[in-house]
Amino acid sequence: MRVLEGQAGSDAAAHAMRAYLAELSDRLDIDPSFADAADPAEVTPPRGDFMLLSEIGSGAVVGFGAVHVLEQGLVEIRRMWLHPHVRGRGLGRFLLGSLENRARSLGGRRVLLGVNESLVEACGLYRASGYEPVERDGDNSYVTHVFGKVLVGPHSDAST
């Protein structure tokens, strides 16, 4: 697998987003205008990034995720998704780690993400990856839980 950065607005990103939204519409009762809420400028450097996960060899896109800088030191992970046929292989943890690294490179010291409680696999991944529940802030009616994590590593300092 490889991670491709800087993919906001690409055809591959649009195709992956349609697959994500189709799955969400099967699992949740989402408003179709939800797709229109995504502004590629918010996930384009320096404000963020949209990353695709693709198979080496075939180049098939099997997942994506985005990061968006909310304020100095605080980055949000948005719409992380894996195609159902690749789940259960550790790729969620791999993609999440890649998104956290990208958040660090954008100056993130802390990361937030929102999720719907019906996405139990995602909730489990986030908790197992050190995310803790934080107070909900925002008006996205599909988000039932917000998780946060302090980032540590070469691009951040958890003490600040």
CATH of the domain at 31: 3.40.630.30
Arithmetic mean of pLDDT, 12-29: 86
Q: What is the percent of the chain where pLDDT is above 90? A: 68
Residue 21 lies in a domain: yes
Please state, rounded to an integer, the average pLDDT across all residues of the chain.
Answer: 88
- Taking a C-beta distance cutoff of 8 angstroms, is the pair 82, 56 a contact? no
Amino acid at 160: T
Domain containing 32 equals 2-150
pLDDT value, residue 33: 60
Number of domains in the chain: 1
Q: How far apart are CA 67 and CA 65, in angstroms?
A: 7
Residue 95 resides in a domain: yes
159 within some domain: no
pLDDT in tens, 100-152: 999 999 999 999 999 989 889 999 999 999 999 998 777 777 888 999 999 98
